[in-house]
Amino acid sequence: MKTPAPADLHRWSEELARNPASLAFLPLARAYRRLGRRDLALQLSLRGLEHHPTHVEAHALLALLYFEAGDRSRAADEWATVLRLKPGNFEALRGMGFRYLEQNDVGRARQHLERAALIRPDDTTVQEALRLIRHRETAGARARPDTAMLGTARPRPAAVEPAAPAPPPPAPPRSAYAPPPAASPSAGAVPKPAPAAAPAPAPAPASAPVAAPRREAPRYELPPDPARLFDSLMAAGPLLGILLLDRRGLVLAGGMRTAGAEVEELGAIIGAAIDEAIRTVTHLSLGDWKSLVLESEAAILQVAPVTEEALIIVAARTGTPMGWILRASAQAAITAERYVGAGV
């Protein structure tokens, strides 16, 4: 994990002093967390959320800070908020999955963890937790209550959770999403989500704890023809097409019935609009861009990043309700994430 530069800290602090509603609170809080100043990070996050109460990443960071401080109840509250704002947030799905697991609410735990596994099939902590759930279910009544596989067979107050290990120590900080030490069924402990805030997984440093042998992730069946990746979504409504593009504007998958546009040309040209959009949000201090919706005479296009390497374009007929397009786009993004995650 990169150490924040003093110049950046100074710049964000100044910006925040000038404008308390500035979004600079978020990088500053993350930087303080990385420096081990979780108290300051917490204060900044709470103040920032006063100005931006629906900021997903700020809630996610707050959840992490609470989790690291051992306050799992508040962490769960924040993850629940994240999921209300962004139902497909991996960290929140994983965090809530583990929380339900601790409370022995296996149904909800599985529901959240399976959704998390769809987004990141290779996350070892999620796979380990799902394996525990399956083990528990097959063991049935024999596993309850004294030999409970999940550590906390009955809901207990957080203060008296002998089976649950202490929260991860504040230092040294681990690499972003480096897998935490794996829990084994015999240890009777619930695996913990990795304490990190960066949005993308990073390889664990050599000194990171050794993870359990990688479990077989649910296998994602690649479509035989990439052009048909979104066919099931296309059948559902007034969509003209869905395209998955790489960062150079080249089409990775999907297709377009007709939007008056050539597929390859559309991919290349939309890049110009994205460049301008990024410039605009940067100058207006709005943070990272999340989506761009274009309504033209011929079609409505919704463009959104899927990963740092890929973006998705959903095209619909003019007059299609915007809410419908956004929902279709969210579903397409999940399919695209799985496709990209499959190493295509």
Judge contact between 129 and 120, C-beta under 8 A.
Answer: no
Count of CB atoms within 10 A of residue 286's CB? 11
Return the residue of 270, 312, 333, 336 that touches other proteins, per CB under 8 A: 270
Candidates 18-26, 112-120, 133-141, 204-212: pick the segment binding other proteins (CB under 8 A).
18-26
**Which of residues 281 and 344 has its CB atom nearest to other proteins in the complex?**
281
Output the smallest distance, CB 208 to other proteins, in A.
29
Site size for other proteins (CB under 8 A): 43
* Positions of E strands within 32-186: none
- 175 touches other proteins by CB under 8 A: no
- 260 touches other proteins by CB under 8 A: yes
Q: Which of 166, 141, 138, 167 is nearest to 153 (CA)?
A: 141
**Which of residues 5 and 269 has its CB atom nearest to other proteins in the complex?**
269
Distances (CA, A) of 59 to 20, 29, 42, 64, 86: 18, 12, 11, 9, 11
Candidates 50-58, 151-159, 189-197, 208-216: pick the segment binding other proteins (CB under 8 A).
50-58
Tokens 């735990």 map to which residue? 109
- 307 touches other proteins by CB under 8 A: no
- 247 touches other proteins by CB under 8 A: no
Handedness of CA 100, 102, 105, 109 (dihedral sign): positive
- 17 touches other proteins by CB under 8 A: no
**Which of residues 158 and 272 has its CB atom nearest to other proteins in the complex?**
272
Residue 157 burial (C-beta neighbours within 10 Å; 0-12, 13-18, 19+): exposed
Q: Which of 32, 69, 30, 26 is nearest to 49 (CA)?
A: 26
Rule CB under 8 A: which residues touch other proteins?
19, 21, 23, 52-57, 259-262, 265-266, 269-270, 272-273, 276-277, 279-281, 283-299, 301, 322
